[in-house]
Structure 1
């Protein structure tokens, strides 16, 4: 007999819901959900954050009491989330740990129940999050499977081939209850009246006939039935039948015509453990380092560098996190506030009034923790030290400058805005690892352009503007102790770009710095620090390692062609990024040779992006850092923060 389960996601922090509308949401969505549970007898999973639960307790204590009674009588099941709905792979380990512990504390205090299963927030998953959920005491997780199938190369394989357990960075693993974006979107459409019930029932029946025995019929929002949050100008009208009543009718018909047996999420997870052989796997790969739900436009950059001012908001949250750690702040109040400021909903379709409230809360917490003073004392800029000057040689045409120290050799192209022609370190035998691949390096016309390093690319589609720093410059050269500074200024109609390359004359280390003077963030993409690896310097396959919200590093073998900067659609400018929550990313080959990239997320929480293309026996591999991307949440305005990138060698063992 085919079986199915349903999980409703409750979120009073939903980006488009105004604060004064929360009682209305409880009345129109949350009460009908409990009534639907009673009428159908289906043991729904109900997932909500500790923050949402706390808000309900303040606004409608009767709903809370009813929910508590239904949980105790096992008429429904609590699914965990955390105190706040945050994008774990973009958030430091300590914040993720606190977010989960504060959530569990709220469930225990308000409901007298601790959930066994957690739903991955926004289905934004990373390997490191498995360890977070296991540490919080969860016995399983709910994750959307569609993009995990892409990550594992299983998109054309039967669903039965999916892993049963998610492996963390070490040896911890958790069983996975898979949700399905297509299924939940189809149910939304039939309830809204966009497709006939008969068509929907045929869809479910077809999935069963194809061999699917455990159907994740619905794992998504409750606030979209009999309520419209006002996110879009052209939202669908409410169904005249009443959407919760229509929901009940659809479920009744599916149960009757498809002979579907309903399970609670925990029972569904236990059933899968009985029916399937245990298959443990990491659920991400270089093609999908941070899988999320739904189609490609819903990638992790949606919460990293789009929205009203995501770059600044993520940066200031990193500042607050560092301040809490440095002063040893352990109060739940401060950590709750930080988790709430890191909420995903502040980074998407947030209303103007709630955005202004968020700005006020940021300012208040910064003042309480003296963040601005700490940032001045811990300046992200270089500190002058004593050392020997570097030598600079100029070629006969004045195009290339060669800077040589005992530890490195750097060649800069003045004709291309101080682009790095080559960078070589002593520990690599002075073989260039980063530089420029000139037009013609690759025989394919698809790659028949110059690939520079250290550059800037700004694109503003609605103004048909494309800006780069690839122009003649007359650099300014200064010596600060053991730091040689080479800088150039670029004037654009939107503001001035100050680009600086700092060479450490006493070690294997250079720094790139990009400052946007008098800029307002345009409605476009801004990508800086574009680095091109020199393929002949590496042996065998490459691998990337970084931390994505967990405690330990995650490793991604570059075994597939990827381009995170390729547009997912005309309105979505990119497809993926790494979390790099500690501000580090490394690329190395099978011999252990590579480069270490480091930056300060508390100064600029840029999104690290990758392109890797295999070309016969060679490859094109590039890394860059995005300060702005485009999607449906993007709004003009916001801040462009200065970005600094340290480049160091990874030495061969």
Structure 2
């Protein structure tokens, strides 16, 4: 017998729902789910955040009591979410941990229920979240399958049964399906004939054995239109919940499908031979749901002002002590909600800003250097005959800057690497192919303004000024670029192996532009291959990605979506290295939560590996305006860490 399951995601914080419309959403979208459970006897899964449950309890406690009764009767199932719907791979571990703790406590208080399955928020997955979910007591997770297939280059219908974490931890996975839920939405809305939908499901049933995720998405799309887009159609005159029930009944009669609960669907999935895999890849380090235009950068670097908003959240996080009260953590989780970062209404955006208005910005640098002695303060400067290059050296660092190309880094080397260059410029002709016949500089900036058909770089002639600070030798250049003035500052530590490079753009206003800076070209010839990239993405431990694979996160998905992927980098650090050594790029996300993107290509035996830091990406959520923050990047040598299960902080969960 073919089986399937239904899951509805409830979110009163949905970006386009005005606060005044919440009672209407409960009446039009949430009550019909409970009525559907009673009329159809389908054991539907209901996933909602702790914040949404709290709001429903305030506005309509009868709904909560009814839901509690149905749960006690085992006629439906609660699926875990978190206190707010935040993007886990973009949020520090402690925030993710509190997000789960707060929700589990409220589920217990209001519903007397502890869910065993968790839905990955917005289907934005990172491998290090597996350990987190297991820590707080979940027995399995629900994740969209389609982008995992892209991440794994996996063509089989038989998907992995378990998701591997960064240690030996693994959790069983119940797969949802973007195409299936979108097809049902279209049938219910009347955009496609019901018979076409039924035939499509029959075809899927004939080719797949596991329980089908007939629906696993938003409840607010039926019988309600928030007015987010001018293209939104009217609700179906039949009544969309009535139409949905009719379609489900026809589906049962025509195909014989049996609807089971998500937990039972997972049990059936676990009867398959175990196939545990890591579900992310270098090309897709943070897989999400639906089509490529929904990649993680919509929450990281687009929206109304997402870089600034994420920076503010990091600032508050850094100021919270580990003994902060639950209300403070709750507020932070709410401010980190994904819905503030997409199509948020003006009224709710102003409400978000009001919450943020009490936050004091962090102004201290991310690292503190000690005062150097006189013997270590020396800086050697040599200028070539044509005054193109500055060659600078301390006892720890050798640096060559190209003054004809905006003070770009021609090479950077540290003593611990025997002064072999870590960062370089790969000059035109390095690659013996016209496809890569360009100069690939380090330390540069690119601004693209599609609406104006302008591409701006900092590859201009400069006349820098060399000055001295307490712990650094400082080189400053000012560039007059189209639409912007750029102050570029490079600081060379007097005593340690550290170089800093900062960018200050004026006016500090975010326009319709793609803004990427701190672009670094890694010298892969000095690393054993395949090298490894290390980054933290919302978990307690780092994730590692082999650079044997190729990727290009900077590749535009369409003319309206400027990039395809990025790393979460929740600690403000990303490293590339081998088992002996690494180069680390670090920044303070409480000052600027820039987003790292990777280009990794090979031509024959040669490598092109570049990291870009984005301050702005374009997609359908982008709105011009907002803040353009200063960005400072520190570059140091080091080594990669290793993920050990014993390093995961212990947690106490309120029962």
- TM-score normalised by length of structure 1: 0.96
Match of 1:261 in 2: 258
Match of 1:514 in 2: 503
Match of 1:249 in 2: 246
Mapped to 2, the partners of 1:38 and 1:358 lie a distance apart of 38
Is the counterpart of residue 632 in structure 1 residue 626 in structure 2?
no
Match of 2:601 in 1: 613
Q: Contact (CA 8 Å) 1:389, 1:484: kept in 2 or not?
A: no
Match of 2:25 in 1: 25
Match of 2:235 in 1: 238
Q: Contact (CA 8 Å) 2:401, 2:410: kept in 1 or not?
A: yes
Match of 1:623 in 2: 611
Mapped to 2, the partners of 1:505 and 1:27 lie a distance apart of 66
Mapped to 2, the partners of 1:381 and 1:177 lie a distance apart of 43
Judge which range, 473-482 or 579-588, deviates more: 473-482
Match of 2:163 in 1: 166
Q: Deviations over 1:369-423 (max 9, x none)?
A: xx34xx24x3458768334121010000000000011112100000000000111
Residues 102-251 of structure 1 mapped to structure 2, 5 A cutoff: 102-154=102-154, 156-157=155-156, 159-160=157-158, 162-251=159-248
Match of 1:464 in 2: 453
Q: Contact (CA 8 Å) 1:428, 1:651: kept in 2 or not?
A: no
Q: Deviations over 1:250-302 (max 9, x none)?
A: 1111111111011100111111112x011222111101100100111111111
Match of 2:472 in 1: 483
CA gap of 1:324–1:651, structure 2 versus 1, over 3 A, is closer
Alignment gaps of 5+ in structure 2: 642-655
Match of 1:500 in 2: 489
Matched residue of 1:303: which SS? Answer: helix
Residues 377-392 of structure 1 mapped to structure 2, 5 A cutoff: 378-380=364-366, 385-387=371-373, 388-392=377-381
Mapped to 2, the partners of 1:211 and 1:396 lie a distance apart of 70
How much does 1:232 deviate? 0.8
Mapped to 1, the partners of 2:493 and 2:273 lie a distance apart of 55
Q: Contact (CA 8 Å) 2:575, 2:640: kept in 1 or not?
A: no
Mapped to 2, the partners of 1:559 and 1:259 lie a distance apart of 47
Match of 1:354 in 2: 348
Mapped to 2, the partners of 1:27 and 1:211 lie a distance apart of 36
Alignment partner for residue 637 of structure 2, among 623, 643, 649? 649
How much does 1:165 deviate? 1.1
How much does 1:32 deviate? 1.0
Match of 2:294 in 1: 298
Match of 1:280 in 2: 276
Alignment partner for residue 603 of structure 1, among 586, 591, 600? 591
Q: Contact (CA 8 Å) 1:384, 1:480: kept in 2 or not?
A: no
Mapped to 2, the partners of 1:592 and 1:301 lie a distance apart of 32
Alignment partner for residue 319 of structure 2, among 317, 320, 323? 323
Alignment gaps of 5+ in structure 1: none
How much does 1:94 deviate? 0.4
Mapped to 2, the partners of 1:135 and 1:424 lie a distance apart of 42
Alignment partner for residue 405 of structure 2, among 413, 416, 421? 416
Match of 1:37 in 2: 37
Q: Contact (CA 8 Å) 1:163, 1:280: kept in 2 or not?
A: yes
Judge which range, 451-460 or 558-567, deviates more: 558-567
How much does 1:76 deviate? 0.8
Match of 2:304 in 1: 308
Matched residue of 1:441: which SS? Answer: coil
Is the counterpart of residue 594 in structure 1 residue 582 in structure 2?
yes
Matched residue of 1:47: which SS? Answer: strand
CA gap of 1:3–1:651, structure 2 versus 1, over 3 A, is closer
Mapped to 2, the partners of 1:494 and 1:110 lie a distance apart of 54
Matched residue of 2:122: which SS? Answer: helix
Mapped to 2, the partners of 1:604 and 1:329 lie a distance apart of 26
Q: Contact (CA 8 Å) 1:7, 1:265: kept in 2 or not?
A: yes
Mapped to 1, the partners of 2:365 and 2:471 lie a distance apart of 18
Q: Contact (CA 8 Å) 1:494, 1:519: kept in 2 or not?
A: no
How much does 1:58 deviate? 0.6
CA gap of 1:381–1:651, structure 2 versus 1, over 3 A, is closer
How much does 1:523 deviate? 1.3
- TM-score normalised by length of structure 2: 0.95
Matched residue of 1:297: which SS? Answer: helix
